[in-house]
Amino acid sequence: MKIITENKRVKFDYEILETYEAGLELKGFEVKAIRAGRINLAGAYAIIRDNQAWLINADVPAYQPKNAPEDYDSKRTRRLLLKKSEIKNLIGSVAEKGLTLMPLKVYTKNHRIKIEIGLGRSRKKADKRELIKKRETEREIRRNL
């Protein structure tokens, strides 16, 4: 399993409650671009619409910009491939107030591109400060040992 990219900001801004592994419906040149590490998950999120999961606002620039179709949109909405039972669970969970689906990382598994999405609750400012203090104390302890 080779991790292509990771969205570290999400782990800081959100408390991740559950994670799911999903496939991505991509075009051929998008697959090449992602394998080359050209994907940006900053600002991306997932939604459930018409009993299907969709990844919104993930930026995948064309592998070869001159050979890409003229109407190609790098931030187009892409379908996430999940099992029906997982989608049903997510529909119930996302309906709950304050929970959102966020992409955590993109990786390859058996030569297929997978994305890990997490069901998360947004953290308050005080929680973020507490998390920073905890990390700093752990660093100091490791440094002293």
Give the CATH number for residue 66: 2.40.280.10
List the domain range (segments joined by +) for residue 119. Answer: 2-144
What whole-number distance in Å separates Cα of residue 94 and Cα of residue 89?
9
Among candidate residues 96, 115, 126, the one with its CA nearest the CA of residue 17: 96
Average pLDDT of every residue of the chain? 88
What pLDDT, on the 0 to 100 scale, is given for residue 8?
86
Quote the tokens at residue 60: 């995948």
Mean pLDDT value of segment 80-97: 88
**What contacts 67, CB < 8 A, 6 or more positions away?**
29
Mean pLDDT computed over 78-86: 93
User: Residue 126 pLDDT more than 80?
Assistant: no
Total tally of structural domains belonging to the chain:
1
Predicted structure pTM score: 0.80
Asked whether the predicted pLDDT for residue 113 surpasses 80, the reply is yes
pLDDT score for 80: 93
| Confidence tier at 25 by pLDDT (50, 70, 90) | very high
Cα 84 to Cα 68, 106, 120, 139, distances in angstroms: 33, 21, 20, 43
Question: What average pLDDT score do residues 63-81 get?
Answer: 85
Find where tokens 């900053």 sit. Answer: 42
What does each C-alpha distance from 110 to 3, 23, 144 come to in angstroms? 12, 12, 41
Q: Please report the pLDDT score of residue 74 as a whole number.
A: 82
Task: Please state, for a pLDDT cut of 90, what percent of the chain lies above it.
Answer: 40
